Amino acid sequence: MDVMTAVLSRRSEPELIEPAPSDEEFAYLLRAAATAPDHGRLRPWRWILVHGEGRTALGRCFADCGTGADPRRGRDQLEAATGRAPLLATLVFTPTERRPVPEWEQLAATNAMTTSLMLLLHARGFGSMWRTGRFTQSEEVRRLLDLKAEERLLGWLYIGTPGRDQPSQRRAPDDITDKISTFAPTLLPA
């Protein structure tokens, strides 16, 4: 799949089934995604792969800490949330102050890497869906995943094989000409 096709046909996939990439294939794709722009090559992120029994433990943690916060969703629904995909790749932001790269730029590099990873997954026939929500702020979830105080849980990339029968259609790009301008300075006589 060429890059333009990947960009125009990638969609968030709400139904994801087996198979997901193996840990080795995920690492292979991540090595390529990590070549995204990253000032100083700080790689201010890490991934925690959650599958199998890990999904069950994370789902129980969601249920234990979330039932009072959202009366519309019961314990069973919260616990089942982690079963929506065979692999939940947990993105942890690990900014560093060792070099003069502002934190916003480190976060932008993390986003660029994640977008590249999603396109690479799509090009290999996998689907993904980015999920965030209140559990990214949960102290119980942070403890379960063994996050350090300075780390931020950004969310989960749910990954698997798209459960729908048809491949996604290419999107027609929107007209964004109103978002482009050309700088043309007025030069004063010397």
Where b means 16+ CB within 10 Å and e means fewer, 119-151 reads bbbbbeebbbbebeeebbebeebbebbebeeeb
**What are the residues whose beta carbons fall under 8 Å from the beta carbon of 66, sequence distance 6 or more?**
73, 78, 134, 135, 138
Is residue 92 pLDDT above 60, yes or no?
A: yes
Look at residue 109 in the predicted model and tell me its pLDDT: 97
Note the pTM of the prediction, 2 decimals: 0.91
What domains lie within the chain, and their CATH numbers?
A: 16-51+85-164 (3.40.109.10)
The string of pLDDT tens digits covering residues 175-184 is 999 999 999 9
Above pLDDT 90, what percent of the chain?
A: 79
- d(C-alpha 19, C-alpha 106), whole Å: 32
Q: What is the pLDDT of residues 133-154, one digit of tens each?
A: 999 999 999 999 999 999 999 9
38-84 per-position pLDDT tens digit: 998 999 999 999 999 999 999 999 999 875 556 567 788 888 999 99
Q: How confident is the model at residue 97 (pLDDT cuts 50, 70, 90)?
A: confident
